[in-house]
Amino acid sequence: MKAAHRYILTLTCPDRVGIVATVSELIASLNGWVTEANYHSDQDSGLFFMRNEIKADSIGDQIEAFKAGIRAIATNFNLHWALHDTAEKQRIVLFASKASHCLNDLLHRWHNGELDCTVSAVISNHESLRRMVEFYGIPFEYIPIIPDNKAAGFHQVAEALEQLQPDAVILARYMQVLPGSICEAYNGRMINIHHSFLPSFMGANPYQRAFERGVKLIGATSHYVTEDLDEGPIIEQDVSRVSHRHQTKDLIRLGKDIERVVLARAVRSHLERRVFISGNKTIVFD
């Protein structure tokens, strides 16, 4: 079933009395129908976070009056706010290397309507996933990253993104470390899946290192990408129990299931504007 047309209001501001009441009064004055409301007062930062979903047809042709009202409130409460129209689909670009499990899962969910977005392209440094991607009718761009000249490959990546102008970039097991310039350009809009429960086992070969350490839990972490490898704000995590009976290949097999689910949850939360970045942490409204 197609989701109802909604406006999503997101805002952040210094916490104080009267924020919810003032915004709610504005919405009610325009006969706005709130279908979901989320609030969080962060004691450490002193910030207030708010997300409201409003039926679009309840606002009708008063949307400009609504925006004007929010701008007036923003002046008084020092708000950082945005109003998102769910009828305007976000454009995403997916990156992958050889592993297909996360990419295929996202494409399947998108095809079934679980992810409300437009997939503009898949970019890969290998050709092996082309047929799978083109099965879904999505453009596939092969951009090799040559170890002796990675800068040239990443220049092509930057040019491709410049042409595609995505709202978000999803690294679905893209096994390359992107340069800082690309990370900065998509700050807060580039999502990665790391195959360990961060901050444990950052970097390469986490399952092998987890096996060598004899862990009893393995996990996966989806986070926003920053210049610092695997240290960006965490959006979603999950774990699975393992034991001394499991070899590295078993950890990889079990881990792939976790990776798929964790990345899909993170992408969905981002697309639904449920994630707020606060320093190196996130507030994620479920």
Number of other CB atoms surrounding residue 234 within 10 Å: 20
Closest Cα to residue 117, out of 94, 101, 139, 97?
94
Backbone dihedral angles phi then psi of residue 141, each to the nearest 5 degrees: -115, 115
168-171 and 90-96: which strand pairing? parallel
- DSSP secondary structure, 89-136, as one string: PEEEEEEE-S--HHHHHHHHHHHTTSS-EEEEEEEESSSTTHHHHHHT
Catalytic residue among 230, 238, 250, 257: 230
Distance CA 197, CA 219 (A): 4
Is residue 228 annotated as part of the catalytic site, yes or no? Answer: no
Which residue numbers are catalytic? 230
